[in-house]
Amino acid sequence: MLHATSELEFSNEKNREDTSQLASLAPSGDASPSEKNSPGLPAKTGYPDSVYVMAANIFQGIRFEKSPEQVLIKYGNEPLRSLPESEDEALQRSSYELAFNALKFQDILETMLIDSYILPSTTIPDHLSSLIIVMLYDFQERKFQARLFSDNEEPIAEVQEVENLLNSFKTKLAAALARCRIKHDALSIYHILPETVRNQELRASTLPLYAWINTCKISPEEVYYSLKKKGYNKVTSVLHIDDKVYAVDQHCYDVLIFPSHLKNDLLNIDLFKEYKLIFQDKSRSLAVHSVRALLNMDDDILMVNTGSWYTVAHMSVLTNNNTSKIFVCGVKSQAKDPDLKNLFTKMGCKNIQILHETFLNIEPKDHRLHKVKVILLLPRCSGLGVSNPVEFILNEHEDTGLLKDFSQGGTSEDKLHILAQQQYEQLTHAMKFTKAQAVVYCTCSVYPEENEAVVKKALEFQDLEIKVQPYRLSPPVLPLCSLKEIHLSTDKFFRMEPSGITNGCFLSVLTRERDPSETVSVRDVLARAAAKGLLDGIELGKPSKREKKKKKSKISLLKAPTSDNNGIQTKIAEFLNRETNANANWSETLTTKTSLPQKKATSAASSSQVRKPGKPAANPLVPTFMKNTAHPRLYERQTNFIRPRPEDRVIALKPIEIVLPPVMLPSSSPHGIKSQIPTQHFYYHWVGPKTGYFPSPSIIRRGEKPKENLPSFPFRRPRPWL
């Protein structure tokens, strides 16, 4: 029975209906974002009893605790008895959404219970207080209308008891809500929320849906054809379009974008039921595509804090044509293994291996991870860049306590410091894996403390005692599709700010610096291409002395000392000694000006000759010893100074071709010299024999035909820049 004061205030049904409409959370003149963007949405009819119980237990764990002098309602410590946890994702999502909404309005709901005299006038056990709060929120959302029951629903006694209590006080509750709204001078209590929370809900109501194509089961062309048969048209943008359309994402070629109001329709088509299209936030697709851009064919991947198993599946799909393996760490319970294997089998993923150790407990030199080249790190973060916190908690995070931060529109400094420290520890541990060549770090946070600060600190204090090249910050490997993205990525970080199109995202790519000993010059690349026959007919010039020194130092570093090398070193030492003695004898010969008999050069050993002009001339290009002698004969070193190399000591060499520039003297040379120089140009080639052994030097005479071991390709003028 209603109180006397209630009968005076609301004497007839019309006044009660007007008060109910005025006190609703979102009146028709100023609806909530979800109602504004959902035209034709049927009136709320309530939830099943099990949803209320699950929502009450969630709220019990995340509610705001007040000081003793500010406590209005006492909450128990024991959770409500509930049915076995349902695996229905829709029911779980409804439970979290109901608990999160009750948390946002906790103060107002508690004030309504006190102002309507429910708690002072009734005796309710403390453990039912959480259930009253979540059911009161839903009651005013339904504009204090009765809930519709389902015949298949199993009733729960506690839910029935609370519902009867609220129905008996619905007039007083409506009046208390109206007074609260008037007190805050708000058209609806929705506007009492912080501005950041209101903007977040507005983005969530308009944010497009992102779904990636499972190319293990279907090709993109087949997806387009199937969607066209269902009435979906391909467009360039899905913004402000209410029709059945979709678009292809610019950053990820296998990601499709749908308008938000089509979700219920899309969930009922076979493409989603058969795991051919999978809904997931775009930030996770950006992360796996960044990893894919850094991989070779046989590189393995280590994934840390994956959150949603769909992220692991997407990574597996992108590497389906490789021999790569994907290691996933942090699966605490082995009881989940059969369910996970069943899920991956349905999605066609075969290269996934689950590790039950936490990431920080895995040794960097673990033998199972010896082929891991890229580490994908998705650390736990505040997630303040996402617009739908419930989806974020369900898919990417297990800590329901973050819902408290979302309800206030920010994270406390203490919690932010704890999260940043955990992220730093994981990133520095990832950088200790000596075989890894890259680390991809991705968060959904907008706080620099969790993003740039963590990466810069890890790079600054990385362990330089490890005998591997240090990490450096690399530019994004994703395409930058707008001037804004280019501007946000000037410091080599990839950022996406929260907007009506996407959630916030931060992505950083760390790669090891290139080992100087492994640096490949342009000539080396050309030489490799020529060896493969890719530069047919193009002549390569002689490599510079600096490149030769680099190549020699690289070979000496790579080769380990063996018995063969020791023998070669001994032979080199003997050769140097012989050459030293020979040079000394040659110096004495020149000093005493002793004429040495000229011997005919043989194929085993011969000396190089210098042709001297008949008349002396002061030409700077002529060698000095040619100026000091007028003897017309050609001098050459005696062959007995050079010891012939026995056949058993010949060294196998790789054939090489050297192209020298044409022999030309300046036009200002004296006429006497110029008359003796032939007018035609000579191009001297030295080509290694086909046998691969070091050839004996031979004299190239003018007018002599080239030997058979010279190259058979037609004569070409060499390029002067080679």
Q: Which residues are catalytic?
A: 444
φ, ψ of residue 326 to 5 degrees: the values are -115, 115
Residues 688/656, Cβ–Cβ less than 8 Å: yes
Q: Which residues pair with 411 in a beta bridge?
A: none
Q: Which residue in the block uniquely carries the two structure tokens 């049904």?
A: 13
373 contacts 381 by C-beta, under 8 angstroms: no
Taking each helix axis as running N to C, give the angle between helix 157-168 and helix 170-183, from 0 to 180 degrees, rounded to the nearest 10: 70
Closest CA to 143 of 290, 214, 245, 45: 45
For residues 173 and 140, is the Cβ–Cβ distance under 8 A? yes
Distance (Å, whole) CA 104 – CA 415 = 19
Q: Which of 601, 596, 622, 597 is nearest to 699 (CA)?
A: 601
Place of tokens 């007995």: 640
C-alpha span between 214 and 318 (Å, rounded): 9
Amino acid in the structure at residue 564: D
> What is the crossing angle of helices 89-104 and 49-62, to 10°?
50
* Helix (H) or strand (E) run with residue 210 in it: strand 209-213
3-state helix, strand, coil in the chain (%, to 5): 45, 10, 45
List the one residue out of 516, 651, 681 whose CA is nearest residue 575: 651
**Residue 93 · residue 123 · CB < 8 Å:** no
Token code pair at residue 86: 């349902």
Measured CA to CA, the distance from residue 707 to residue 605 in angstroms comes to 18
Residue located via tokens 């034709």: 40
- 3-state SS assignment for residue 375: strand
Q: In angstroms, what CA-CA distances link 341 with 300, 334, 665, 671?
A: 19, 11, 79, 91
Note whether 714 and 696 are within 8 A (CB).
no
Token pair in block for residue 31:
């609806």
Q: What whole-number distance in Å separates Cα of residue 246 and Cα of residue 210?
A: 10
